[in-house]
Amino acid sequence: MLAQEVPALPRGVRLHFDKVREKWVLLAPERAVTLDQIGHAILSEVDGARSFGQITRALSEKYDAPVDQIAEDSSGFLDALRNRRFLDVTA
Amino acid sequence: MTGIAPPIAMLAELTHRCPLSCPYCSNPVEMALQESELDTDTWVRVFQEAAALGVLQLHLSGGEPASRRDLVTLVQAARDAGLYTNLITSAIGLTERRLAELDAAGLDHVQLSLQGTDADMADRVGGYRGGFKRKMQTVEWINRIGFPLTLNFVLHRHNAHQLERALEMALEMGARRIEVATVQFHGWALKNRDALMPTRAQARAVTRQVEAARKAHKGTLVIDYVPADYHDDYPKRCMGGWGSTGLNVAPDGQVLPCHAAQSIPHLRFDRVQDKPLAEIWHNSSAFNAYRGTDWMAEPCRSCERKTVDFGGCRCQAMAIVGDASATDPVCIKSPHHKALQAQADDHAAQGDAPFVHRTAPGAAREPAE
């Protein structure tokens, strides 16, 4: 994922707190993806308006971690969601 | 049994009624009558119990779920319970107005069946004249609303050559996903093996096409693929393992570990009218019959794949070997594997065997085999 690209959750894909398993999940058509803390933190910032670069900078400040590290950790995760059509991306 | 993880998905078969009569219908040959269908309030309670048990994904199916007059109410109740709500439909019975009501009720996703890529094939397989045209009209309405769409192309010997066009149609419709599902031989399909069995060459060609299409459409169209398992060397991981991830509620309230489980004659099923869903999930003898690996005999018991495919499909072992605890005969380690492969080739060679279309619930059935 490039810094200027804008990720968005498409219709039919949403964050959901699974009260039974006490975990955040991403619900998508006929699939449920269990999220770890990092995955949940990233997707909570995805609003369809801010770019990937803006999101990683926000997370960097929030968690006091290097922005490059956050970009590296989250880029593969978001690309995988994109390939499964769980994430829309506009340039 | 202790330490049983909660289910993720529930298939709610709202009715066995359907305007179509596909010869591979997964409904049992003995279908539930309309009079025995669960009422609205019971389904609503079952959805709430399912969510409390840990179900995340609800698949509303049938028969044709749109045949239920209370479909919109049921979708609303499922969303209120916190479930991701998926409608599995042929499109027959959906109008533009009804789709708008489903949208307002919070329906998350639509899975649309595709019997063929043109009216001639689709209406012949579905046994419903004009069905294809209505389906195409419904796709326009679905897209106008913006529902995420999955196409389910059920593939067999007669329409395997239409796969390329089915993939194009999925792209044209803006579907995010297509299931390329080779017919599984349960329910009515078991009666139609001569008519439906793909040839080995077809099965191989379809696999190659799917692999190529996955590369070509990466990031645009997700392709889920169910191969022709009679021709395969290892069985499918049926239901992700019996009683491990999913459950099925039949129209009359019986709770099944899979949609074909009623074909295993010694199993006894509990009903949602009699017991809470959680109790059934944990304690029902039918769910515990093939849960985990303790029930296995050889060659499964000592097999390194036993937690990969859980011995394959219990209903298939029942149908072909006559023993639901046997290794799925698709497996290369089964003593019945070679015979099944030969049988598959025999079925596939019955060029013009006629379809046995499913009948309506309660309608006179064709003479016993």
User: Could A27 and B218 be called an inter-chain contact, meaning their C-beta atoms sit closer than 8 Å?
Assistant: no
Q: At what angle do helices A52-63 and A67-83 cross, to 10 degrees?
A: 130
Question: What chain B residue is nearest to A81 in terms of C-alpha separation?
Answer: B219
Contacts of B11 (CB under 8 A, 6+ apart): B59, B61, B246, B247, B248, B249, B259
State how far residue A58 is from chain B, nearest Cα, in angstroms: 27
Q: What angle do CA A78, A22, B14 make, to 5 degrees?
A: 85
Cross-chain CB nearest to B150 (options A10, A29, A84): A29
ipTM of this predicted complex?
A: 0.94
Q: Which pLDDT value is given to residue B369? A: 38
Which stretch of DSSP H or E encloses residue A24? strand A23-28
Tokens of B137: 């009209």
Residues of B in contact with A25 (CB under 8 A): 56
Chain A residues with CB under 8 Å of B82 CB are 16
Which residues of chain A are within 8 Å of residue B8 when distances are taken between CB atoms? 32
Decide if pLDDT at B202 tops 90. Answer: yes
pLDDT in tens, A42-71: 999 999 999 999 999 999 999 999 999 999
In tens, the pLDDT along B266-297 reads: 999 999 999 999 999 999 999 999 999 999 99
Distance CA B271, CA B262 (A): 13
| B361 pLDDT tier (thresholds 50, 70, 90) | confident
| B219/A82 Cβ within 8 A | yes
A82 touches chain B (CB under 8 A): yes
Q: Is the predicted pLDDT of residue B64 greater than 80, yes or no?
A: yes
Residue of B nearest to A23 (CA): B54
